Amino acid sequence: MSAKTEKLLSLLNGQPVVPVLKIANVADAVPLARALARGGLPAIEITLRTADALEAIRRVAGEVEGAIVGAGTILDARQFDEAAAAGSKFIVSPGITNELLAAAKDSPVPLLPGAITPGEIMAAREAGLRFLKFFPAEQSGGIASLKAFASPLADVKFCPTGGITGKNAADYLSLPNVICVGGSWVAPDDMVKAGRWDEIEALARAASQLGR
């Protein structure tokens, strides 16, 4: 196992759910991250799907003690470098490309790339990656696919994301090759917009106990 895979596992192992966040208002980033951390989910993924995403990452990295902020929806080397410079502790991409692998090779920030086919998983494995995002999980065979990978690709672990909810997360977490799951249900848009941080903290606390 590569040092970067070990680093990524050290960041995310032990936290069953990684909140996947789309920050529409940058002012929400810090109180949201604090609420999630108080609830037991310090590692979060802020997706680069909004104009303020990089600023949100900067603020969380600089202002929320104990937070482990990662950047998601990274599609190319430029975004990888920008996210790392903003303070991301890990980088998440929906897929795997040679450009991203090259960017990750030259960076101390570990990459969690998406992979759903045996070929993609083997390509990541050849690059020294043993911990991958399985995305989009539900649309790509979900639990059945991950069970099928467990034997032939026994040394590869996954973080399924996409269609994961509070109702099916525990089923995914019961699989031997699943370390954690990614999901947005712990920070519903309406709660974030209304600043209902106590309710989000409660959702995070419940999610932090899944699979235990």
Q: Which domains does the chain have, with CATH numbers?
A: 3-208 (3.20.20.70)
Q: Which residues pair with 158 in a beta bridge?
A: 132, 178
Sign of CA dihedral 47, 48, 49, 55: positive
pLDDT band, very low/low/confident/very high, at 152 (cuts 50, 70, 90): very high
45 is catalytic: yes
Structure-block tokens of residue 73: 């929806």
Sign of CA dihedral 55, 69, 82, 123: negative
pLDDT of residue 71 exceeding 90, the answer is yes
Where does residue 177 fall: left (phi above 0), alpha (psi -120 to 50 degrees), or beta otherwise? alpha
**Which residue is catalytic, options 45, 89, 157, 201?**
45
pLDDT of residue 167 exceeding 90, the answer is yes
In contact, 59 and 30? CB cutoff 8 Å: yes
Distance of CA 197 to the CA centre of its chain: 21
pLDDT in tens, 24-64: 999 999 999 999 999 999 999 999 999 999 999 999 999 99
The arithmetic mean of pLDDT across residues 134-156, rounded, is 97
Q: In what order do the strands lie in the sheet with 111-113?
A: 111-113, 90-93, 68-72, 43-47, 17-21, 181-183
**Which residue is catalytic, options 22, 133, 157, 201?**
133
